[in-house]
Amino acid sequence: MAENRTVRLSVLDQSPIREGGTAADALGESIELAKHAEALGYHRYWLAEHHGSEGLAGPSPEIMITRVAAETSHIRVGSGGVMLPHYSPYKVAENFRLLETLFPGRVDLGIGRAPGSDFATSQALAYGSKIGAEYFPNMIQDLSGFLSDSIPADHPLGQVKARPKIDNIPPIWLLGSSDYSGAYAAHYGLAFSFAHFINPVGGEQVMQAYFEKFQPSPGVPEPIGNIGVFVVCADTEADAERIAKTRDLQRLRADQGYHGPMPSIEEAEAYRYSPPEQQRVEYNRARTILGDPVQVKSQLLELTDRYNVDELVVITNVFDFANRKRSYALLAEAFALKPEQPNTAAAQ
DSSP string, 1-68: -GGGS--EEEEEE--BPBTT--HHHHHHHHHHHHHHHHHHT-SEEEE----S-SSB--S-HHHHHHHH
> Is 99 exposed, middle or buried (CB count within 10 Å of its CB: 0-12, 13-18, 19+)?
buried
Q: Average pLDDT in the 186-190 region?
A: 97
pTM: 0.94
Q: How many other C-beta atoms lie within 10 A of the C-beta of residue 90?
A: 18
Q: Write down all domains in the chain, each with its CATH number in brackets.
A: 2-235+290-345 (3.20.20.30)
Spatial CB neighbours of 246, under 8 Å, sequence gap ≥ 6: 262, 263, 264, 265, 267, 268, 318, 319, 320
Q: What is the dihedral of CA 6, 48, 23, 92, to 10 degrees?
A: 130
Is residue 226 pLDDT above 80, yes or no?
yes
pLDDT in tens, 41-71: 999 999 999 999 999 999 999 999 999 999 9
Question: For 247-285, what is each residue's pLDDT tens digit?
Answer: 999 999 999 999 999 999 999 999 999 999 999 999 999
pLDDT band at residue 2 using 50, 70 and 90 as cut-offs: very low
pLDDT for 204-221, tens place per residue? 999 999 999 999 998 899
Per the prediction, the chain carries an average pLDDT of 93
Per-residue DSSP letter, 262: B
pLDDT at residue 186 is higher than 50 = yes
Q: For residue 348, is pLDDT > 70? A: yes
pLDDT of residue 1: 46
Please state, for a pLDDT cut of 90, what percent of the chain lies above it. Answer: 86
